[in-house]
Amino acid sequence: MKKELLLLAFLVCLLSHAQTPKIVFEYDAAGNQTKRYLCLKCSSATGKSDQTKEAGALVEEKIVPLSSEELISYYPNPVKETLYLTWQQQDHNEVTSVQVFSFLGQVLGTYSVGSGVHELNIPFQNYSGGIYIVALYYSNGSQKSIKIIKQ
């Protein structure tokens, strides 16, 4: 009887340890999975180390924007009549022109942007309902695009 109880206790301990998670995931600030790895000697059941950062330890200089699209704001989306587009200048890199494309790639409108201008109103009332791409062209040759839905 003692052997059976000892064997039962051993199996319970073995099975309870077998249920601890061994795969650990890491995520970026946007919530996207960046890493997945097998953790054989984790310090806790979650696989995370015991090191924590204080909220005051985070300095704004260390916080990196998720993407350059944060510098571009536009509303409303979906648009009915007019799209209001604003942007911030980044590193002496100004927006030189804005183009509106159909989803098939046809250029529907081109708007030149003067130096120091940080906003543009694009009329959409003459376009039919669907998906459009608005591309912003910068002075250094780079391009950013956003998807707009027309109701």
Across residues 52-73, what is the average pLDDT? 53
Same domain assignment for residues 28 and 78: no
Across residues 100-114, what is the average pLDDT? 93
**Sign of the dihedral defined by the CA atoms of residues 11, 14, 16, 18, in that order:** negative
Dump pLDDT digits (tens) for 6-24.
888 888 877 776 666 677 7
Same domain assignment for residues 29 and 100: no
d(CA 70, CA 96): 19
Same domain assignment for residues 78 and 31: no
Both tokens assigned to 117: 């201008």
Same domain assignment for residues 38 and 93: no
Dump pLDDT digits (tens) for 67-88.
554 588 898 889 999 999 998 8
Please give the residue range of the domain that contains residue 116. Answer: 70-150
Same domain assignment for residues 75 and 116: yes
Segments of 6-93 assigned E as strands? 23-27, 33-38, 72-75, 82-87
The type of residue at 107 is: V
pTM above threshold 0.75: no
Residue 128: pLDDT over 90: yes
d(CA 89, CA 67): 14
Q: Is position 56 within any domain?
A: no
Q: Label residue 58 by pLDDT band (50, 70, 90).
A: very low
* pLDDT at residue 122, as a whole number: 95
Q: Is position 19 within any domain?
A: yes
Q: Is position 65 within any domain?
A: no
Same domain assignment for residues 27 and 86: no
d(CA 112, CA 37): 49
Same domain assignment for residues 41 and 103: no
